[in-house]
Chain A
Amino acid sequence: MTSLVAGPGHTDTGSPAFNSEAIRADFPILERTVRGGKPLVYLDSGATSQRPVPVIDAEQEFLTTHLSAVHRGAHQLAEEATDFYESARLRISRFIGAPSAEELVFTKNATEAINLVAYSFGNATYSDEPEAARFRLGPGDEIVVTEMEHHANLVPWQELCRRTGATLRWFGLTDDFRLDLSNISELINSRTRVVAFTHQSNVLGTVNPVAEIVEAARKVGALTVLDACQSVPHAPVDLAELGVDFAAFSGHKMLGPSGVGGLYGRYELLSQMPPFLTGGSMIEQVFIDHSTYAAPPARFEAGVPMTSQAVGLGAAVDYLNDLGMPVVAAHEAELTGYALQQLSSLDGIRLIGPSENVDRGGAVSFVVDGVHAHDVGQILDNEGVAVRVGHHCAWPLHRRYGIAATVRASFAVYNTVSEVDVLVDAVQSAQKFFGGRG
């Protein structure tokens, strides 16, 4: 397709290694047109990112050459499939900074990963195993979340509170779209058992101060659960260094396949947690009236798991590693900064997220005065610009700011500065269309 970036010599990040055109060539879908011949401007990677050829090829190669059920079977294909699956686990675990591959559990997505933790805690509450004691919850205990959580890191905790009698509490948000930490010492107290929070808001783009929250949680012996869906794909993330106890992420938001995600958990905790889903693969011994369970991560991977998806996700982290996550982060920061600057310069646009490009990632949400987000999205779509509109599964956040819905542009490594220009032009078209007629 026509180059969306300047010619040779132009570097979006200032890094000579960064070749936007070469990267875009790895994503064939970016060459297609939509809505009557408009070049696709895909700014919805916060929902699902596109996949590069190496990821698609890795899945295809696995399916055409090695497909078999993993961790069972006595044949060559079973061995090969298991090696591919476990090799993917190792590479992905290194990518997220897990000290060992055993600390990464494959799940179908981040939602399942968070539910796995919440249900394991719930199961611990009804378990008489001594090692389950530290996860038990009951009346008087508190679980702390934030008002900016995606429903996936909110509803499971609401449900866990409902089942166990624990109390849900939350950090509020400031008018400048950050977590309100002013009451952290009151909010995270001796009754707090779990603190679940997002690394980077999927709406605001805000990056939260993980270290400060982890420190407060540790002081009172509370467990931390980090929603890393929007951080792991876009910047170097070292979960061990961050010091969280658990973290969840999704494959399809990080250039990988859907149907695979991951739960990181410190081994010490995973090895004491009761299982969530039970059945095949996750057992140690089964008798007619009771069973014992395998060590993690197998304990949390009941049934035949996804395989080509895990292999594809392994290829996705290889791809990101080859680019270099600092380079990916720098490129996306440039796009974010430019988008913030261009959108703020328009009249009648209100950014819903920090306007300063500091401690924030590449989710840029906004409202257009007098035009509903759904209507803005429709005009953008007509110009070939794919964005997300609505509450982005963060309804309490939208209520906090008194808005029903926002438009969200979200970036990935394959986006360009020129695409931001197309977005800004399309937003102006929407303003004109709804403001200028009648």
Chain B
Amino acid sequence: MQMEQLYQEIILDHHRSPHHAGLRDPFDTEVHHVNPTCGDEITLRVALGDVEPGSGSAGSVVVTDISYEGMGCSISQASTSVMTDLLIGRTVTEALGILDEFTAMATSRGTISGDEEVLGDGIAFAGVSKYPARVKCALLGWMAFKDATAQTVSRPNDVVTQTGGSAS
């Protein structure tokens, strides 16, 4: 495989100028994830908000912000940046659906090229799946988002306490 296929311009661009970088308030949950094999780490915050205040179901909860800080390789940094573009503004249900598709592509050993309609710039990471040692890099930010979101939605009343919605 040519390295240009693995490190597509879109990846290098996001690596050089990551979107939505930095830690911001308000947020519901902050998590710290590491890749123990290489030492890369990320601190990621998720803020969720209700589309219809009080409706309470995950389908109506929106990802209002994802902010992050970390150190890592170009793949992990760019993947997190792309993720924030894709998931901010989506409902939690939609976001987790996109996450599932991204995960399936990244772990497919090159058999799934990814649906651009769903993954947008994320399909640039299809090449990563051919390098098993790099899959964890591509998923570092995504797994942090999944964890932070799961913690938020499983916590009673939390969604509304920091994001300004009314009590459910």
A binds B: yes
Inter-subunit contact A405/B40 (CB<8 Å): yes
Known: A375-B7, A390-B37. 7 other contacts (CB 8 A): A35-B1, A372-B74, A374-B134, A382-B1, A404-B40, A404-B71, A438-B12
Q: A395: CB under 8 A from chain B?
A: yes
B160 / chain A contacts, CB cutoff of 8 Å: none
A126 / chain B contacts, CB cutoff of 8 Å: none
Inter-subunit contact B7/A391 (CB<8 Å): no
Inter-subunit contact A372/B72 (CB<8 Å): yes
Inter-subunit contact B134/A378 (CB<8 Å): yes
B: number of interface residues (CB 8 Å): 21
1/0 per residue A378-397: CB within 8 Å of B?
11001000000111000100
B3 / chain A contacts, CB cutoff of 8 Å: 378-379, 382, 433
Inter-subunit contact A372/B73 (CB<8 Å): yes
Inter-subunit contact B39/A398 (CB<8 Å): yes
Tell me the A192-250 residues at the B interface (CB within 8 Å).
none
B73 / chain A contacts, CB cutoff of 8 Å: 372-375
Q: A401: CB under 8 A from chain B?
A: no
The docked-state distance in angstroms from the alpha carbon of A432 to that of B9 is 14
Chain A's interface size range is: 20 to 34
Inter-subunit contact B38/A405 (CB<8 Å): yes
The docked-state distance in angstroms from the alpha carbon of A382 to that of B134 is 14
Question: How far apart are B123's CB and chain A's nearest CB, in angstroms?
Answer: 19
The docked-state distance in angstroms from the alpha carbon of A135 to that of B16 is 54
Q: A290: CB under 8 A from chain B?
A: no
Inter-subunit contact B38/A390 (CB<8 Å): yes
Question: How far apart are B9's CB and chain A's nearest CB, in angstroms?
Answer: 6
1/0 per residue B8-45: CB within 8 Å of A?
01001100100000000000000000000111110000
Inter-subunit contact A437/B12 (CB<8 Å): yes
B13 / chain A contacts, CB cutoff of 8 Å: 438
The docked-state distance in angstroms from the alpha carbon of A372 to that of B16 is 12
1/0 per residue B110-137: CB within 8 Å of A?
0000000000000000000001001001
